[in-house]
Amino acid sequence: MKLKGKTALITGSARGLGKAIALKLAEMGANIVLNDIVSSESLDETYKEFREAGYNVAVARGDVTKEEDVKNMVKAAVDKFGALHILVNNAGITRDKPMLLMSEEDWDLVLNVNLKGAFLCSKAAAKVMIKQRYGKIINISSVAGAYGNPGQANYSASKAGLIGLTKTIAKELASRGIRCNAVTPGIIKSQMTDVLPEELKKKYLDNIALGVFGTPEDVAGVVAFLASPDSDYVTGQVIDIDGGLVM
């Protein structure tokens, strides 16, 4: 229960990786603020699951690309639990195509959600954390942000931007008691990887030193470490969670 009494806002947490992170932090005692876009039907289901499990949980619907929505999300967390100690910038999308076929609209959409959204959320959360003289901001980047990935110019650029944003926030806010770190997941088991042809799965696995795909829980465990007091002397770092895909 290392996070008992702490409040965490996890963006894009209705399902998938964000939900796994929220669950891990809840298990460690944190008050959880779930977020997803207003039209997300699975957000209510996830909220119900957390409530039935006995966790302290609230919902803050909102679009991370809209500043007013973000301000309201942070306000909802503070109004419900009295503080905001942890922000996990997980909300993200893909619109994959070769660069020569990628539209300006697809470029802008991915950069807005994945990078601008993290900037707006970090800015709003930091204003609360500065007053507390304590906070943890954790950005969910990707190995694609450090090494690139064919067909993902927009996604790779957005995740590379998150790494730069992480290091800048860490330097700007360290004196205020705020730590900022990033994790870079590799190939994580999901609905998308489940439907890949066996030949393609084998090709990916041959490049992973551990020989298996990661799970959302693998990522959630590292995020939980960065959210906990165990990492109070860690800031500005980028941690690969990829089973040895890149090293």
Residues taking part in catalysis: 155
Task: Give the start-end residues of each E strand in 124-247.
Answer: 135-140, 178-185, 238-241
Give the residue from 205, 175, 206, 168 showing the smallest Cα distance to 187.
205
Taking the C-alpha atoms of residue 179 and residue 88, their distance in angstroms, rounded to an integer, is 12
3-state helix, strand and coil shares in percent for the chain, rounded to the nearest 5: 50, 15, 35
CA-to-CA separations, 93 to 12, 77, 111, 156, 207, in angstroms, rounded? 10, 24, 9, 11, 24
Q: Which tokens in the block code for residue 152? A: 């993902």
- Partner residues linked to 137 by β-bridges: 87, 180
- Partner residues linked to 58 by β-bridges: 33
User: Residue type for 194, please?
Assistant: D
